[in-house]
Amino acid sequence: MSETGTRRLRVHRFKRGDGGAHFDEFVVPAGPRTTVLDALRWIQLHADPSLALRHSCMHASCGTCGVQVDGQEELACVARLGDHRGDPVTVEPLANVPVLTDLVVDMADFFRRFGDRHPVLRASEAVAGAQPPDGLDRFVRLEDCIECGLCLSACPVAATSARYAGPAALSAAQRLLEEPRGADRDDVLAWAGRPEGAWRCHVGMECTRACPADALPAERIMALRRELGGREAGARP
């Protein structure tokens, strides 16, 4: 990293059987382009090799390095220390999912919220050379979802209910309605319309604000609600 000074980081620590969660402070070299991930890796290499975190691609494609920086959900690999005025800058694991150790969360809790009978692959992916279906432009933004969990961490409803489907899963359900991929439409709507589904959303828009890929989860949930509203209206005598 390009060094022009130093910054203080206050990092969440947690090791099972080691006295509970706490924060450790570190002074790290920092320049104008230093990212939070740069700083955390410096800590691993030069200060405390026991610090645990997740990362992979280093360029906001894989979604594995999601954390909270001064209370805001961000990808550590693109979150610059210079954009945060905290002294120290506080780095915590994502919220609304179990913490395994330090900054590492159990993403299985994120993925379990998706409908288990909904297919993952698009129908076009099963046929070599298949052309995209009509209307691709209507949901191409959802393709950008990198399943990082930032939207779930930012969601105030998920903070109050572990059973809530969450923004990413509900957005995926809306995508299934736009491009069925072999899923049963009524089944998808029944899943989305359950008490902990789309109607549970409070429209706080925090998920869209947190999304690093501009996948617009809140907008997709609103579209899903319109689908559900039309279905329910059609079912009335």
Task: Give the per-residue pLDDT at 180.
Answer: 61
Q: How many domains does the chain have?
A: 2
On whether both 160 and 59 belong to a single domain, the answer is no
3-state class percentages of the chain: helix first, strand second, coil last, to nearest 5: 35, 15, 50
Q: Which two tokens stand for residue 219?
A: 């907008």
Domain end point (choices 53, 87, 105): 105
Q: Verify that 135 and 54 share a domain, yes or no.
A: no
Which of 77, 105, 133 represents a domain boundary (last residue)? 105
Residue 112 and residue 197 in one domain: yes
The contacts of residue 19 (CB under 8 Å, 6+ apart) are none
Residue 100's domain comprises 5-105
| Averaged pLDDT, groups of 10, the chain, 237 residues long | 82 93 97 96 98 95 97 98 95 98 96 76 53 54 79 97 96 84 83 95 96 94 94 60
> What's the pLDDT score for residue 84?
96
Output the pTM of the full model. Answer: 0.86
CATH code of the domain covering residue 78: 3.10.20.30
What whole-number distance in Å separates Cα of residue 4 and Cα of residue 9? 16
pLDDT at res. 119:
59
Beta strands at 66-69 and 72-75: parallel, antiparallel or unpaired: antiparallel
- Are both 114 and 229 inside the same structural domain? yes
